[in-house]
Structure 1
């Protein structure tokens, strides 16, 4: 295939100037990706490789795209979440960087599907996914493209859950690297980044005082742990709900109240869901909540809070009572406040992770994509694969170097002690 002309469906190309400034600003806080970009530009590991990407269209994502493009890739990009799309960033990618982009803020479901189709139109060799939408489309409507795929990367826990279910059912047809599952990314992206950006979205949307508030955190994985710690630092009284005994014990021994959602529902002033599952907060919980309870979801899909039930059963829905806040009036007069339509709040109600956080996540993504191509076609199994440990260590090393942090090294005596059973 010859290189195509740039194609696009974006809101307004006139926004490109502002988008370019936003991308450059983010790049200042992304030294890991810059170092990888410089190497890719010299070595061209993606020369002529067609990449389809379904990611959040943000300035940070734009710098990942620039990095892969510097390595020779031909990229087509669509949005994994319409509410997270920055229209100026999308325009800048088209105008300033010559990337084919299909993304509009608040696009409807029909347009969203058309954008997925446009991204897959060039028969990709690699796919970069954020919640498995490209993988799902490939395995349902584009099965003819599967033989030409070298592999893919998945950015989110929700997407990895889907992919592992596909693999368990023997339905997955190409190797996918679970980019979200590395020690460095779990620390920086999930525990630190999502916690900060979710609280940022909550404060932007409600301007409420968290000190003294009862905040219910549903799920005590990496994200829940980070949220609970930072909410406590702001003076909130944190309640945790969990289904896993080990995580519930961890939360209890960390000093948080642990109970069921039914027990927490009448107590909570704010509810934050971070489980990756569906119907975590549902009808029986809504019935117990206070007037003015705030509901927000930091998981990828808008299923953790039963938004459909709220829409069907509220006697009145008041849109945008504040930016990104809808009010659902119950039959008894209580008002439940939903942030960002129940979608991923930190992206829909704020700007997502700080660039310094995405520097780590996208660095791992870029090196994982390069690793997939280093393997001969067919050499890797059609399965969900872990990020090679060397990649995680390299990203941590690059980040520490950028922060001017130095480490101790083992002496020969110490190394001998650690590697000999008779020492």
Structure 2
């Protein structure tokens, strides 16, 4: 039975879910209470999107092995990923009761406390993590992001940069830490240092789409017309697993809700619509768009994000692809095209707006959010690539692109889309109607 369990774990680690599940179930046929098989089968079920079954299986594992810290920790992870930070915290504290030096549980506890807005408690937990595991690269990364996201003064930014630099020194493959380091340095006004981070990165990896794009974002290279497909795929694949947690819990991300509100007002009670979530990511918009949908499709460039969207559910189809090309390939196919914070990776919006217009049926609505380039009330048509790697747009540019594409009834409202570096990110939420036909 031990050999069979080892084979199950190896298949699970290699991503062969079907083989892993079959082996776990064979172990449980021999010993229905085997805690490791119940535990890992529960994790597998959660990864497949069935969190309720996962929690039930792990509860059975804990009945057999109540002092098993790893099982408590993974049960906490399931609660955390479901957004229940209080239940997650309780699990992590139980793990630490039985194994005080369980540093991953300490890190997870810090995240759960941060999710609850208990920032002082979270900061102490992050500090404890680095005391327990002083060479844990991910711990420095987590603390660096915490300090960046909740910076109240310049010193917090400097501390964030030190943590992110240390995270990368301990784990040179952690490119997210390097990208965040450059961003923090730029926000601190250390523009040359930020550009040097990306130049050094390109010296080691001349083909890196992440480094090339971020160097341009910091003013060290020509600005591309839009973020390249390879950059988008690399960026979002790299943090698909923590995307929802970072945006929803740490950055107060509200673009999906704001966009859904604007579309709901425009649709005025219409139902039974064919809807495309263009740049669907992990599927945060699915539940918001579903009430209006007869059919809800999603398209995204990142396989990692699409895997998360499949686990979340709510879509009739999910397609891996670039959204402009997908729109151009599906003329007159949709009643609504929604794009929450995806067009921030486009400079000039004219082509994507024209593609959305062509993909909509007569009377259909296009809704999206972008970050605002604030040049005052008289701002003209303009775009700018910011140090975050995202583009900002003037209101005039958004309106001009929509009107040029043939849209009417254009509505553009100023909204704060998220928090970042301790400040709100100002944006536009736009909806417009295709009126011909």
Q: Do the structures match in fold with TM over 0.5? A: no
Higher percent of residues as helix: 2
Give the number of the structure with larger relative contact order, counting CA–CA contacts within 8 Å between residues 6 or more apart.
1
Normalising by the residue count of structure 2, what TM-score does the alignment of the two structures yield? Answer: 0.35
Normalising by the residue count of structure 1, what TM-score does the alignment of the two structures yield? Answer: 0.36
